[in-house]
Every structure is written in structure tokens, then in C-alpha cells.
């Protein structure tokens, strides 16, 4: 039986994504399972990896991209007691998601509850887990506190807004004019970052805040010099969490600028007493999973329960087959569509 996956043989633009066909279905080794992939998430991190600019993955080539997946366990290798064959699972695989079959280590797989939309479920491992851990693992928020989300219409951005609403937080989100409605859908205040100085806009919106203008926390995936502007939006005692370097990925800043941004985060974190208690840190989902594997699974299970109960609402803007991967990445690189595009490996022709 033949099966398909997307392959990258060289780093570059969307044109490097190739649809490959295999004739032998692989068997899992010790500690592994074979997953029939039913939904694969896409996002800017996949584009970052495709360009060869993702520090946590530089190859080897060729490889199959795809940071997260949901599917059913078809076969378990020696020594695997869980998950069971036939169980629906989710995985944060970093690469390997754009495929009909995946061989994955069993230890990090998380069960997916019955009755959830699999396209929404695949939004959980990367986007929602990132948002959830940044909101819950570094400080305690009280209802009514205010957060700032940079790039609020993206996959992690919309997850932050969705969870902020669930936790009773006020949210301000930066976005393009085209995505104001996406941000406002979650009850957040939208700021068009192209219309003026968003720092001044944030401070004006929070001018009546007790204890000083600014937000209680800011979340920034842009990186580089952008971190300084997000830090300037903090109220006394506020916290900035950086979780990306998109300015470098899209070529607006170089590696040196990205490094300086990281250095600033460390300085602000170490010397918060000089900045009226304002502090900063960098979040990496892969590092956090390595250092806190039990926490990783517990948080994923909590998120799946929120999804099952209808408490959160991931934004899926399109569902496409593997053959549409090039077009999907072209859309990701262009930005501006406000949500997540999901690949359905067993679906037929691309939607029009």
C-alpha cells in the first residue's frame, strides 16, 4: 500500500515542499508507535524551520515538516504499554507531522478525548499549550488583570486571547487592520500596529490603572528590538514573556539583533529591582517539555478537557490536503488570515 508525506530536501521558500510517495508502511521500534495521522497543524514555526532559521532544528535533510499532529495509534512497538492501539493521541513532534503515517516515541503522546473536532484538537499541542503555560506557569493572574498580546491574530495569539477570556483577564492585542475583527471576537481591544505607536496606545488604554499605567503581562513572539517596546508597555511589577524571533525569521532583523533581544530579556529578568519590579523571561515549549514532562502532559489534558467542554474555541480558518502544503506555506508567509490552517492527510483535493 502506498502512502504520502511532505518532504523538504533543501531549505528555502514554499517551493521546497514536495509531496513524496512511499510504498512500505514503517513499523515502530522499541518504545515507539505508528500513528495514522488524521490532522496536522501548520503555522509560522513550520515556515521558520523550512527556511533553516529555527535554532532547535537544523536537519538533517531531507525531513518531513509539521510541528504537531493528531491521529490514531495503529501499531505499538515492543515495550509500549500505553497508548493502546486504536487510541486517539496528540503529539508535539517539532518535525514529522505532514504525513499519513508517523513513527513517534510513545512517552510524550497525550490521549485526545472522544467527541472533539480533530482540526481543533491539533491546535492544542503547540499554540494552546504555549499560551496556557505562559499564562499559568510563571505567575498567578487574578481576574480583571490586563495582558498585551503582540501578534494577536496568529495561532498562539488567538490562543492567548481565548484563554485570557476563559480566565477572566482583560486583553489588548496588536494586529493588522485586516484582523481587528479576529481580535475583537475574543472580547479584546485591538490595536492596529501600523496606525501609530502601539506603546503610547497601550499606556493610554491603561492610564487609569491603579499603581501606574501599563499591562500586567506582555507576550511577544517578534523578538529582537521589539522586546524593548513590549517591555515599555509593562506596569510596575509586570512581566514580559518572549517566545519567538519572528523579526529574524522574516528577514527584518539579523541574528545579532535577535541575540541582543535575548540579552535584554536576561538583563531585565536578573535586575528587575532596577525596573520597578518589571521582569522578563523567554519561553521555549520544547525546553519546558524536556524539563517538566509530567507538567506537559497534565497541561495538555487540562486543555483537552476545556476543548471538550466548549470552554475554548480554536480558530481554524481552512482544512487542506497534503498536496496543498506549498499553497498553505505561501499563505503563512504572507500572513494576515487570523487563525490556523490544518492539513488533513487523508483528504482529497485542495479547497477552492
- Domain segments of the chain as ranges: 3-124+314-343, 139-282
**HSE, side-chain direction, 13 A CA sphere, residue 296:** 19
Comparing 55-59, 106-110, 210-214, 250-254, the range with the smallest average pLDDT is 250-254
Q: Percent of the chain beyond pLDDT 70? A: 94
Give 55: exposed, middle or buried? Use CB within 10 Å, 0-12, 13-18, 19+. exposed
Summarize the confidence of residues 102-115 as an average pLDDT.
Answer: 96
The strand pair at 340-343 and 32-41 is best described as antiparallel
Q: How confident is the model at residue 252 (pLDDT cuts 50, 70, 90)?
A: low
Higher pLDDT, 227 or 257: 227
Do the beta carbons of residue 232 and residue 202 sit within 8 Å? Answer: no
Q: Which residues contact 108 (CB under 8 A, 6 or more apart)?
A: 91, 92, 289, 293, 296, 297
For 200-226, b where at least 16 C-beta lie within 10 A, e where not — what string?
ebbbebbeebeeebbbbbbbbbbbbeb
| Model pLDDT, residue 352 | 36
Q: Percent of the chain beyond pLDDT 90? A: 76
Q: How confident is the model at residue 337 (pLDDT cuts 50, 70, 90)?
A: confident
Q: Is the pLDDT of residue 271 over 80?
A: no
Q: Which residues contact 96 (CB under 8 A, 6 or more apart)?
A: 63, 64, 65, 66, 69, 102, 104
Strand order in the sheet with 189-192: 189-192, 170-175, 146-149, 215-220, 234-242, 279-282
Q: The pTM is what?
A: 0.92
| Model pLDDT, residue 245 | 66
pLDDT digits (tens, 9 = 90+) for 115-143: 999 999 999 999 999 999 999 999 999 99
Q: Does domain 139-282 have CATH number 3.90.1170.50?
A: no
| Model pLDDT, residue 275 | 78
| Model pLDDT, residue 58 | 83
Q: How confident is the model at residue 256 (pLDDT cuts 50, 70, 90)?
A: low
Beta bridge partners of 340: 316
Summarize the confidence of residues 36-53 as an average pLDDT.
Answer: 94
CB atoms within 10 A of CB 138: 14
d(CA 68, CA 119) in angstroms, rounded, equals 11
pLDDT digits (tens, 9 = 90+) for 59-82: 899 999 999 999 999 999 999 999
Q: Does domain 3-124+314-343 have CATH number 3.30.70.380?
A: no
Amino acid at each position: 500500500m502506498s502512502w504520502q508525506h511532505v518532504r523538504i530536501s533543501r531549505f528555502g521558500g514554499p517551493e521546497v515542499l514536495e509531496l513524496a510517495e512511499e510504498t512500505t508502511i514503517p513499523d515502530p521500534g522499541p518504545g515507539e508507535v505508528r500513528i495514522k495521522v488524521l490532522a496536522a497543524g501548520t503555522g509560522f514555526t513550520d515556515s521558520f524551520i523550512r527556511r533553516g532559521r529555527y535554532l532547535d532544528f537544523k536537519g538533517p535533510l531531507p525531513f518531513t515538516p509539521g510541528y504537531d499532529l493528531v491521529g490514531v495509534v495503529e501499531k505499538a512497538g515492543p515495550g509500549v504499554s500505553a497508548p493502546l492501539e486504536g487510541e486517539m493521541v496528540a503529539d508535539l513532534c517539532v518535525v514529522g507531522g505532514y504525513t499519513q503515517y508517523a513513527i513517534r516515541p510513545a512517552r510524550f503522546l497525550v490521549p485526545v478525548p472522544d467527541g472533539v473536532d480533530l482540526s481543533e484538537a491539533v491546535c492544542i499541542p503547540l499554540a494552546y499549550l504555549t499560551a496556557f503555560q505562559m499564562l499559568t506557569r510563571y505567575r498567578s493572574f487574578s481576574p480583571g488583570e490586563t495582558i498585551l498580546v503582540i501578534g494577536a491574530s496568529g495561532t498562539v495569539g488567538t490562543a492567548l486571547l481565548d484563554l485570557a477570556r476563559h480566565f477572566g483577564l482583560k486583553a489588548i492585542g496588536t494586529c493588522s487592520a485586516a484582523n481587528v475583527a479576529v481580535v475583537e471576537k475574543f472580547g479584546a481591544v485591538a490595536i492596529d500596529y501600523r496606525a501609530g505607536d502601539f506603546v503610547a496606545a497601550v499606556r493610554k488604554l491603561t492610564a487609569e490603572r491603579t499603581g501606574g499605567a501599563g499591562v500586567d503581562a506582555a507576550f511577544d513572539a517578534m523578538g529582537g528590538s521589539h522586546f524593548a517596546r513590549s517591555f515599555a508597555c509593562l506596569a510596575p511589577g509586570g512581566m514580559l514573556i518572549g517566545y519567538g524571533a519572528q523579526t529574524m525569521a522574516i528577514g527584518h532583523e539579523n541574528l545579532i539583533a535577535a541575540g541582543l533581544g535575548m540579552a535584554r530579556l536576561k538583563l531585565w529578568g536578573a535586575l528587575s529591582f532596577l525596573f520597578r519590579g518589571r521582569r522578563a523571561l523567554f519561553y521555549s515549549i520544547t525546553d519546558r517539555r524536556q524539563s517538566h514532562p509530567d507538567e506537559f502532559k497534565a497541561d495538555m489534558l487540562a486543555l483537552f478537557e476545556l476543548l471538550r467542554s466548549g470552554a475554548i474555541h480554536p480558530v481554524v480558518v481552512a482544512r487542506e490536503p497534503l498536496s496543498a502544503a506549498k499553497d498553505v506555506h505561501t499563505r503563512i508567509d504572507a500572513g494576515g488570515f487570523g487563525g490556523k490552517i490544518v492539513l488533513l492527510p487523508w483528504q482529497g483535493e485542495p479547497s477552492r
